[in-house]
């Protein structure tokens, strides 16, 4: 699966999870990506888009 949005290029975020005793462990937060048929400059294509771009209207979905 793609790891970043084709529109805004958001990708996974890395950081630390903290337990109750404040011990740190590595963690990765992934972006919520959806496979969408969308209109682009090169025509109608299937691209990976994050839900933030879909919700804000940055993507024109093809019917």
Q: What residue spans define the domains of the chain?
A: 1-63
Please write the tens of the pLDDT for every residue from 14-56: 999 999 999 999 999 999 999 999 999 999 999 999 999 999 9
Nearest to 61 by CA among 22, 6, 45, 24: 45
Question: Is the pLDDT confidence value at 12 over 70?
Answer: yes
Q: Which pLDDT score, from 0 to 100, does residue 63 have?
A: 83
Instruction: Concatenate the DSSP letters of all residues of 22-38 into one string.
Output: --EEEEEEPP-EEEEEE
- C-alpha span between 41 and 2 (Å, rounded): 20
Check: CB of residue 8 under 8 Å from CB of residue 59: no
pTM here is: 0.80
Question: Is the pLDDT confidence value at 2 over 80?
Answer: no
Structure tokens at 26: 């590595």
**CATH superfamily ID and name for 1-63:** Ribosomal protein L28/L24 (2.30.170.40)
- C-alpha span between 48 and 36 (Å, rounded): 6
Average pLDDT rounded to a whole number, residues 2-8: 91
């Amino acid at each position: 699966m793609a790891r970043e949005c084709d529109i805004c290029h958001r990708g996974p975020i890395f950081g630390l999870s903290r337990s109750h005793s404040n011990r740190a462990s590595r963690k990765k937060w992934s972006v919520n990506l959806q496979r969408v048929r969308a209109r682009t400059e090169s025509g109608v294509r299937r691209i990976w888009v994050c839900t933030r771009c879909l919700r804000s209207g940055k993507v024109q979905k093809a019917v």
